[in-house]
Homo-oligomer: A and B are copies of this chain.
Amino acid sequence: MPNQLKLGLPKGSLEDPTISLFDRAGWKIRKHIRNYFPDIDDPEITARLCRVQEIPHYIQDGILDLALTGKDWIEEMGIDMKSENSPVIHIADLVYSKVSNRPARWVLAVAGDSPYQKPEDLKGKRISTELKGVTQKYFERLGIPVQINYSWGATEAKVVEGLADAIVEVTETETTIKAHNLRVIDEVFVTNTVLIANRAAYENPVKRKKIEQINLLLQGALKAESLVGIKMNAPAAKLDAILALLPALNSPTVASLKDCEWLSLETVVDKNLVRDLIPKLREKGAEGILEYALNKVI
């Protein structure tokens, strides 16, 4: 099929969240044990599961048209998406909902009881990391000579075992870092999931339309992840007081009821505000407050 969009989905920890995100966005994807091409219920797309680390190359070479990967691995591969003719185009940031509101960061960490307090203290030491290129540039920028070894996993344990003096590892809440009795002494790179496209694909009008459709609906599904719908009945007399409590962002739908002294209000609210909002709405006279989940908000 001509102009079929070659879509790259990330394997590993992002795999199931991504498939579930596409599901809410409107595309069903099913993996197979014995087949590397997952089914997708849209004949204009073929999907492939790839390692996030390899995706930037595949987009660069045009083997994939559109894909999800991490900003960190684009940087690691030395791809500069800001340069005018970069074959890799940044379509959008995709910020998945999480418990922590902190972004994922690659940090420089040392043993909690070590004397190292700042990057300079690591002069001549051994650093272990999976993000060797970015780490190299970081230390060069600071002018600190170090020995950087590629880490094949279990990086946090390396300091504990005496195999490295410091590590550069990704973390959100520092839980694993702390569980290994490590101490963060600097932030090396802040990352997030991005949607990227190959330039030639993006300049093909048919593919571009599909890329934009996917982006619009992924954004709608992601937005819905952190929002809920609420509805309530409000006495006409208290409408203004109640409206004043609601976030300005999305103007609420106010519908007339058969009983003219009451109005029906419906709006979307940030999930983690609703626990503070509901007690206040009740205080102001709202009744029959219902909260429900949303698939998409566009």
Chain A residues with CB under 8 Å of chain B are 11, 25-30, 32, 34-37, 39-42, 48, 50-51, 53-54, 57-58, 61, 63, 99-101, 126, 149-154, 157, 160-163, 173, 175-176, 178-179, 212-213, 216-217, 220, 224, 228-229, 233, 250-251, 253-259, 263-264, 268, 271-272, 274-276, 278-279, 282, 288-298
Number of copies: 6
Is there contact, CB below 8 Å, between B263 and A258? Answer: yes
Is there contact, CB below 8 Å, between A54 and B152? Answer: yes
If A58-B163, A255-B258 touch, does A291 touch B282 (CB 8 Å cutoff)?
no
Is there contact, CB below 8 Å, between A278 and B216? Answer: yes
If A175-B35, A255-B255, A263-B258 touch, does A279 touch B213 (CB 8 Å cutoff)?
yes
A35 to B250 CA separation, bound complex (whole angstroms): 39
If A162-B63, A293-B295 touch, does A257 touch B258 (CB 8 Å cutoff)?
no
On chain B, the residues within 8 Å of A278 by CB distance are 216-217, 220, 296, 298
If A28-B99, A39-B175 touch, does A63 touch B163 (CB 8 Å cutoff)?
yes
Is there contact, CB below 8 Å, between B26 and A272? Answer: yes
Nearest 5 CB-CB pairings of A with B? A26-B275, A34-B179, A291-B296, A51-B152, A254-B258
